[in-house]
Each structure stands twice: as structure tokens, then as C-alpha cells.
Structure 1
Amino acid sequence: MRISRRSRTTRALAVSVAAATALGLSACNRGGADTGSGGGGGNEQVGVALITKDSTNPFFVAMQEGAKADASKNNVKLTVASGKQEGDDQGQITAIEDAIARGDKGILITPMSTGVNAAIKKARDAGLYVIALDTPPDPADVVDITFATDNREAGQLIGKWAAAQMDGQPATIALLDLFADKIVSVDYNRDQGFLEGMGIDVADPKKNGDEAKTGKYTSGKGGTYTIVCNEAANGAEDGGRTAMEKCLARNPGINLVYTLNEPTAVGANAALQAAGKKALIVSIDGGCAGVKSVKDGVIGATAQQYPLKMATEGMAAIAEVARGGAKPTPDAGLDFKNTGVALVTDKPADGIESITSDEGSKICWGN
């Protein structure tokens, strides 16, 4: 299902996220007595599994640490698990099966790919309430609900900003995506959102790489574009460097680089430096390291999302449902709960709401 487009990024949103994050962390030592696993009323302890894609990406580390700090607030017995690395479907499947065997009441998962859909269905059939975090599954109703950034909007924000910075000049573009062998919503929504933000027509909005390789972008002052490459970087710094090297080998004149996330952006920048080239780099995530890269001029702009909010609100929702409370519902016009996004840049563009790197550093996550 295609994610609806909205432009609701505001400075107030970023501030409210910061307040919510601080509140969640300050409350980490509050909670009811440990009365055993399970739910069903009162404040009995609820077993919840948090299953991320890996345990090394700062985004997922922040999600794990935030959930651990906030678990006692909702009297949750939290178990954290993950795949070994991006693409490890089996690692997540094993963690899902373990949650079922433990008798957990719910699962929070950043689904690796459609390869874990059957295991999620098995969990739901066993009575577990399953919430996807960050990455809406395909189809969306594989889980009970998703708590996530509007990744389409995040891509559109950096695309509009990039078009404004190009100022009508020809854009020679490298697209550094997540996977080459898997279809994941976070991957195509960010990539296709970026192109839409640039004002470039996309063909299939759920498929990377099938748009016209040359044409005109219409955002900002508009101009011509050439897409040099769609390369998979697997969300990692070394992958970003390798992908950028491949793109530069095809066309050393690349002047605009879209990256799925900030580790990829850092790797891309290293490849550009090694080749003696410069290009405008845009990205998505908003971790503290990424915000610093904006301040240092490595990344021109990044769309900041809030993994701690995804995890803590999702965990609270599972505890509420397990105790007989109301189930969360998607936000209006979307098929998920939107946890917010803000454009972080020190080069603001007319008509595009943004916050500075100094402001972003106050509400970032990770080291």
C-alpha cells in the first residue's frame, strides 16, 4: 500500500518529541511490582519482545536502550533480540518463535523483509499483539499496527531541499539504497520520496530504479537531471563507500548523492574524498553522529526521525492492549502511527521548514 504524503514537519513537532523522550527516560525507574509474565488486567507484568534488524546500527541501539530504560514504567518484562546484520531474516524468525515460546504478550519488530511475514502471522495467530517499528511491512496488515516515521515524507523533505540547493543547475544523481535483493518499504519510500521531492516522476512508487534516467526535475527552479546509479549499500558505512566508488566509476561528475541513512552517507563521503570529488549529500535518520555530520558539512541535510519514541510508545501500547485497554489506531490519512520527522540543515531553503544542527543535536539519538 502506498503511503500517503503529508507535509507536517514543524519546529514544534521536534520540540514535542524531545519533551516526550525526556519524559520517558525520566520515568524509567517507575513501575509496578513484578507479578510474573502475562497480562489481562491491573498492572501485571507484560512480556514484550523487541526485535531489531541488528544490534550495531546506532538507530537500533538507541531503540533498544530507550525501550530498556522505559520498560519499568509500564511494568514490562522486555526481551531484546535482533538479526546478526541487515538481511538476516532467519535471526528475526528465531526471535519471533522464541517470543511465542516464552508466552510474551506482544512483539515490537523492525521487520527485515517480507521473509519474516509468515513468522509474524504465526505470532499473531498465537495471540501476540505485533507492532512494527520504523519499517512498515508489506502488506501493512501483516502486523496489528506500525509506529514509524513517514519515510515518504522524510524522502520528500530532503528531495525538495536538494532541488533548492541545485538552484536550477543540472543534477547528476547517485542513489545509494538499502538492498538489491529484497523489497523493503523503508527502502523504496525513502528513495522514491526523494525523487518526488526533487520533482522527478517515479514509475512504480514501490520500486527503486525504474524511473527515467534522464529528464527534468521540477522542484525549486527546476532543471535537468541524470540518474547515474541505484546501488545497494546495506545501510552500512563500508557499503556506502563501495557503492559510491561504483557510481563514480560510471560517472565522475556526480554532484548530488541520496543516501538511505547516515552511515551510508559517511561511506559515500569517504569515497568522494578519496577520488578528489565533491557532491551534495542528503540523508535520513537524524542520529547524533549524523547531525554532527551536518554541522561539519559532510551531509547537507538529513531528515531526523525518533526511534526512542517508536519503541517506548509501541511498548506502552502493547502493555495497554494486554491489560484489556484500547488498541492504537493509525493517524488520519495513513496506515500507521506517525512518530514525526524534522529536516535538519544549516542551509535553510525558502518554503521548507527545518531546524538547525544545533537544534537537532538537542533531540538526537545515539553517540
Structure 2
Amino acid sequence: MPQVVTKRIGSARASLAAGIAGLSLLAALVAGAPARAEEPMVVGLITKTDTIPFFVKMREAATEEAKKHGVKLVASTGKFDGDTESQVAAIENLISVGAKGILITPSNSTAILSAVKEARAKGIVVIALDTPTEPADAVDATFATDNFKAGEYQGAYAKQALGGKAPKIVMLDGTSGSSVSELRHDGYLKGMGLAKGDPAILGAQFTNGATDKAQAAMENLLAAHPDINAVYSINETAAAGAYAAIKAAGLEKDIVLTAIDGGCAGVKNVHDGKTAATVMQFPRKMAALGLAAIVEAAKGGKKPAGFVDTGAEVITDKPVEGIPSKDTKFGAEACWG
């Protein structure tokens, strides 16, 4: 064989060997390379506002729980309580980024339902926090205070605190048409052992849970019914307004004023004797349990369903017989805001 041909064959064999060696090295490198990190699961949290301490605590708890599970939390909020448009836009954004679940405190129990339906049709688990949707099964599950039970605790405490006196009550309600307002109102009456329309109910006014509106309402009710001995309030900010009117009338020792929420300011008002008792709810627990439930479902576990009661606790320094309660020391440690 001519020498030049022999050299070409040898060169070709060397190139082929080098190519095979290179491929083997590449395969080894690929096999030994770490797997590309997967994008973290996305879960959304949509609250009514970012200014109310109740929702701030929800976000804190959801953030902590997301970090614990290695989840990316996308938090959004309405510009104000009742801002449905921002909540709907947030749901649509979470659909577009492929979220596995959404936690939402609906600003309106019906206005967000179309967006929720779209999310669920994409396989996204939707959990309502604090405020149920109407109907309740529009979402996969609701993690919230049993508002009827919370109202019942408030009424039962007030009845016992009256010490056998015939109740002469007025009711400072929340917002007309609000399911939370109605549930708490009806629960209070049950706790008091009264039916709607009972003559012991001297009056009721909507306050939107606001201090100024509650104070004005209480002033009007006291002017019409100076013999009031018990006041139901939808929340602690309404109770603060009621107390201002009651104190101005010099009746703070004659009226059993109660509330619902468990904010730190509300617990302090109980400690200071401005409110006889408040019923504490647990926003951090709602958010933490809700996020954990979404993660479990996304990983093939049990899917959340139905209503999950996150508990309520009577907070008072004046305990009454037959009503389980915790003192304000516990309340100060567990409060929000």
C-alpha cells in the first residue's frame, strides 16, 4: 500500500478514535451533571386590603408556611375593602403564571365567582379564607372562623354576665347583606336565648364595623333606649365606638359590651375594662393551614373540601360560669395587629 494512503487511513482512524473519546467524555459529563432545578410551585394569596392588621397577619403566616414548603408565594390585595376588580385581576394573573392554588379573602362573596370558576377549571385549588363565598361550594374549601359560633359565644357570655337581669340589648351590625354580619348577629341571639323580633332587642343599626359610625349609632340608640344593659358589636372597632358613647353617657358600669375579632387593641380594651369580653379568631392559622392544604393536594395528597373551622376563643378577665374563656394575658400573646 502506498505510504500516503497508509498515512490517510491512520489519520482517519485517529480522528474517529478522538471523536468517540469526545462523545464518551460528553456523555460522562452529562450523566454526572446535576439535574436542572425545577421552578418552585406557585401559590397565590389574595386579601381584601394590606392595611388591616388581620390581613397583614395572614400574609405573614402564608409567607412563613411557603418558605417552610419551598413554595413561591405571590401575594396580592385589593386597594380597599370591597375592591373586587383588583381581586379578579389577581386571580387572572395567578392563572396565567400556572399557580397550583389560590387563597382568597373575598371582598364580595359573589362578584369573584366567574374568575374562581375559571381557575378551578384549570385545575387550580381555590380556598376561601375568613369570608365564605356564596354559594360555599364555589371554592374547593373554606378555612375560617365559624362566625355563627363566634356570635353565639359572645351572646352566651353576655347573658351570663348580666347575672340574671332581663336582657335589654341593642345590636351594632356590620354591613347590610354581609354573610359574616348576619351569621354573627344570629349567633349572638342564639347565645342570648332570643329569637328575631324578641322585645328584648331594643334596636339595631348597621355600622360597617367602623368606630365613628358605631359611636353615632350608639348615641342614637342610647337616646331612644337609656335602659340598655347589653350591646352586641360586629367587631372590636365598632365596640370602641360604642364604648365612647357609653362612657359619655356615664353608663360604662351598667352595660355589658362585647365584641369579636382578637386584635391586640381589642384585647387591650378588654384588659382596660372598656369591653367585657371579645371572641378571638385566628387569621394566621387560616392562612397557614390553607397553604399547607394546597401543597398537599398539589403533591397528590388529599384535596381540601368543605368548611374547616379554625377556632374561636372568648377572651375576658371576668370569666362567667359555664363559658370557657382565656384571660387577656393569653389574648396579648395570641392577638394580631
SS, match of residue 123 in structure 2: coil
- CA offsets per residue over residues 272-314 of structure 1, 9 Å max, x none? 3344443321111112221111111111111111110110110
1:34/1:75 contact within 8 Å kept: no
Give the fraction of aligned pairs with identical amino acids, expressed as a percent. Answer: 47
In the alignment, what sits opposite 2:213?
A: 239
SS, match of residue 328 in structure 1: coil
2:83 paired residue among 57, 69, 88: 88
SS, match of residue 231 in structure 2: strand
Q: Which has the larger radius of gyration?
A: 2
SS, match of residue 270 in structure 1: helix
1:86/1:234 contact within 8 Å kept: no
Deviation at 1:106, TM superposition (A): 1.1
SS, match of residue 302 in structure 1: strand
In the alignment, what sits opposite 2:152?
A: 156
In the alignment, what sits opposite 2:142?
A: 146
Q: TM-score, normalised by structure 1?
A: 0.76
SS, match of residue 132 in structure 1: strand
- CA offsets per residue over residues 178-203 of structure 1, 9 Å max, x none? 212x332x2211111111000012xx
Distance of aligned partners of 1:302 and 1:141 in 2 relative to their CA distance in 1, 3 Å threshold: same
SS, match of residue 163 in structure 1: helix
Distance of aligned partners of 1:55 and 1:324 in 2 relative to their CA distance in 1, 3 Å threshold: same
**1:102-121 map, 5 Å:** 102-112=97-107, 113-121=109-117
Unaligned 5+ runs, structure 2: 1-35
Deviation at 1:130, TM superposition (A): 0.4
In the alignment, what sits opposite 2:326?
A: 355
2:172/2:206 contact within 8 Å kept: yes
In the alignment, what sits opposite 2:231?
A: 257
Moved more, 251-260 or 239-248: 239-248
Equivalent AA in structure 2 for residue 313 of structure 1 = L
C-alpha separation in 2, matches of 1:49 and 1:34: 21
Point out which structure has higher relative CO (alpha carbons under 8 A, 6+ apart). 1
1:175 paired residue among 171, 178, 183: 171
SS, match of residue 114 in structure 1: coil
SS, match of residue 291 in structure 1: helix
2:202/2:225 contact within 8 Å kept: no
Moved more, 274-283 or 135-144: 274-283
Aligned residue pair count:
299
Deviation at 1:50, TM superposition (A): 1.0
2:140/2:304 contact within 8 Å kept: no
1:53 paired residue among 25, 48, 53: 48
**1:288-303 map, 5 Å:** 288-303=264-279
C-alpha separation in 1, matches of 2:215 and 2:336: 24
Deviation at 1:327, TM superposition (A): 1.2
Distance of aligned partners of 1:289 and 1:273 in 2 relative to their CA distance in 1, 3 Å threshold: same
1:114/1:137 contact within 8 Å kept: yes
